[in-house]
Amino acid sequence: MDIKRHKKISTDTLTAIQEIHGGSNVDPEIKENDIFYTAVINGNIVGYVHARPEIAHILAIYVHKEYQKSNVKVGRSLLLECINSLAENGVKEIHAGVESGNEKVIGFFEKNNFEISGVSKNGFTLIKLKA
């Protein structure tokens, strides 16, 4: 597996991201200092992570269903790469929001050294990287 950093999203990358989302019309807006990585296996994008250092927040992390429970550890690899990049950007406390009730994703973050820190006004479970 290769992890690739992107400054901009090409049309091919956007198409692959939309396929990971089951064909939905998702189009992540990458700002100048954003962190955006894709995981590539056999030439195919199988996951991505998107974070914004200015707000110390992981905006999205998605892995294709075929790789979510594989031994390849796509999600973990993307998350670790993202955490390292955020740290290199001077971020000391990393946060994310997960739809409340999405125990699968909350569990993923908890297995990777995050803890629940509250609930947002719009109902998202807030999590942060343990110190």
Q: What is the CATH number of the domain that holds 59?
A: 3.40.630.30
> Are residues 114 and 64 part of one domain?
no
> Are residues 59 and 28 part of one domain?
yes
> Are residues 119 and 97 part of one domain?
yes
> Are residues 107 and 80 part of one domain?
no
> Are residues 71 and 9 part of one domain?
yes
> Are residues 110 and 77 part of one domain?
no
> Are residues 45 and 8 part of one domain?
yes
> Are residues 97 and 77 part of one domain?
no
**Residues of the chain where predicted confidence (pLDDT) is lower than 50:** none
- How would DSSP label each residue in 70-99? STT-HHHHHHHHHHHHHHHTT--S-EEEEE
> Is 7 in a helix, a strand, or coil?
coil
* pLDDT of res. 69: 85
Q: What share of the chain has pLDDT > 90, as a percent?
A: 75
* pLDDT of res. 70: 85
- HEC states along 108-121? HHHHCCEEEEEECC
Q: How many domains does the chain have?
A: 2
* pLDDT of res. 90: 94
Domain that holds residue 72: 2-92
> Are residues 43 and 55 part of one domain?
yes
For residue 124, what are the β-bridge partners? 99
* pLDDT of res. 49: 96
* pLDDT of res. 25: 75
List the structure tokens of 39.
């995981």
The answer to whether the pTM exceeds 0.85 is: yes
> Are residues 54 and 6 part of one domain?
yes
